[in-house]
Amino acid sequence: MSGTADPESSQMLTRALSIAFVGSGAIVLVGFFFPSIVGDAITGRSWLLVSLLFFGSGLGYLASLPYEGTEAGSSGSSLLRIRRESVPSILSNLIRMHDPVVLGFPIGVFALYFVLQTVAPAETTAAVGVATDSVLRGVGPLLVGTVFLAVVFCAFLFFGSWGDIKLGGDDVEPTYTFPTYFALVFTAGIAAGIVFWGPAEALFHYQTPPPLFDVGPQSDAAIDVALTYALFHWGLTAWSAYAVVGIPIAYFVFERDAPLRVSSILTPFLGVDGLDSLWGRAVDTMAVFATIGGIATSIALVSQQFLTGVEFQWSVSTGPTAPVLFVGGLAAVYVLSAVTGLHRGIRRIAGVCVLLFAVFALILFAVGPRGFVVSRGADAVGSYLINFVPMSLVMSGSWATEWTVWNWAWWFSWAPFAGTFLAALSRGRRIRTVVLTTVGATSAATMAWFLVVGGTSLSMQHSGQVDVLGAIGARGGSEAVAGFPLLSALPLGDLLLFLFLALIVVFIVTSADTSTLIAAILSSRRGVAPSRGAIALWGAFQAAVALGVILLGGAETLQALAVLTGAPFAVLALVAMAGLALACTRDERGQGHTSLIRRAGERLPTIELHHDVDPPDREK
Tell me: the pLDDT tens digits for 441-460?
999 999 999 999 999 999 99
Amino acid letter, 568: P
Check if the beta carbon of residue 208 is closer than 8 Å to that of residue 399: yes
pLDDT attached to residue 485: 94
| Cα torsion through 586, 587, 589, 593, rounded to 10 | -140
**Is residue 167 within 8 Å of residue 432, measured between CB atoms?**
no
Q: What's the whole-model pTM score?
A: 0.90
Would you state the torsion angle of the CA atoms of residues 429, 431, 436, 440, taken in this order, to the nearest 10 degrees? 130
pLDDT at residue 71, rounded to an integer = 46
Residue 558's pLDDT is what? 59
The rounded distance, in Å, linking the Cα atoms of 213 and 612 is 60
pLDDT at residue 364, as a whole number: 97
Check residue 9 and give its pLDDT.
72
Q: Say if CB 554 and CB 342 are below 8 A apart.
A: no
pLDDT in tens, 563-574: 777 888 899 999
> What number of residues does the chain have?
620
pLDDT score recorded for residue 610: 53
Q: What is the pLDDT of residue 592?
A: 74
Q: What is the pLDDT of residue 615?
A: 52
CA 295, distance to chain mean position in Å, is: 9
Q: Flag residues of the chain having pLDDT under 70.
A: 1-7, 39-40, 68-78, 80-96, 553-559, 561-562, 590, 604-620
Mean pLDDT of all residues belonging to the chain: 86
CB-hemisphere CA count at 13 Å for 522?
Answer: 37
166 in helix, strand or coil?
strand
pLDDT of residue 618: 45
Q: Give the CA count within 13 Å in the CB-facing half-sphere of 603.
A: 7
Can you give the pLDDT at residue 86?
55
- Taking the C-alpha atoms of residue 481 and residue 408, their distance in angstroms, rounded to an integer, is 25
Specify the DSSP element, H or E, that contains 300. helix 278-314
